[in-house]
Structure 1
Amino acid sequence: MVIVAGKGYVDPGHRQALLSSLQASVRQTRAEPGCLDYVVAADPVEPGRVNVYERWESKEHLAAHLAAMAPPAQPTPAVLSMEIAQYEISGSEPFQI
């Protein structure tokens, strides 16, 4: 399993426009083979922060997704910075609170 997670920053006034522009690609990505979860969401505390979380069955599924990505159909608000990492996971178990 592969997890891709991180954060990005945009001008707070442009964050909603960015998230709206990504809705179709989020739906499409979630339907791709090997995609277990995919979300780009507004951070509840920092007005200009956007959180990214992806979970894929394998590196191969993630690679196929990245290879098939098309450039956005319309311009998106400029991302000021991004910090995203990829994690290879060897196992998991349910988490109890």
Structure 2
Amino acid sequence: MLIVAGKGYVDPEDRAAFLAGFEAAQRRARAEPGCLDYVVAADPVEPGRVNVYERWESREHLAAHLARTARESQPSPVMLSMEITQYEIGSSGPYLG
């Protein structure tokens, strides 16, 4: 399993438009084979921050997604900066709190 997580920044006054532009892409990604979760959402504390979280069954599923999305135009306005990390997970289980 792979987790892709991070943050990006847009001008605070442009964040709602940025997220609206990403809605269709999120729906498409969630319908792709191997996608377990995919969300791009407004951060509740920082006005210009956008949080990214994706969970994929395998590296191959993520690679296929990235190949498809490379041909898509990016939403406008664009991100000013981005910090995304990929984690490869060897095992997982329920949260025991």
If the TM-score is normalised by the length of the shorter chain, which range does it land in? Answer: over 0.9
User: Displacement, 1:78?
Assistant: 2.3
Structure 1 runs (4+) greater than 2 angstroms displaced: none
Q: Deviations over 1:65-95 (max 9, x none)?
A: 00111322x7510211000010000000101
Q: Which residue of 1 aligns with 2:42?
A: 42
CA-atom RMSD, angstroms? 1.1
Structure 2 CA distance for aligned equivalents of residues 60 and 67 of structure 1: 10
Unaligned runs of 5+ in 1: none
Q: Which residue of 1 aligns with 2:82?
A: 82
Q: Which residue type is aligned with residue 92 of structure 1?
A: S
Structure 1 CA distance for aligned equivalents of residues 21 and 96 of structure 2: 35
Structure 2 CA distance for aligned equivalents of residues 81 and 11 of structure 1: 10
Structure 2 CA distance for aligned equivalents of residues 75 and 4 of structure 1: 19
Structure 1 CA distance for aligned equivalents of residues 94 and 75 of structure 2: 40
What secondary structure is seen at the aligned counterpart in 2 of 1:6?
A: strand
Q: Which residue of 2 aligns with 1:60?
A: 60
Q: Which residue of 2 aligns with 1:31?
A: 31
* Residues 43, 50 of structure 2: 8 Å contact kept: yes
Seq. identity, % = 70
Unaligned runs of 5+ in 2: none
Structure 2 CA distance for aligned equivalents of residues 48 and 88 of structure 1: 28
Count of aligned pairs = 96
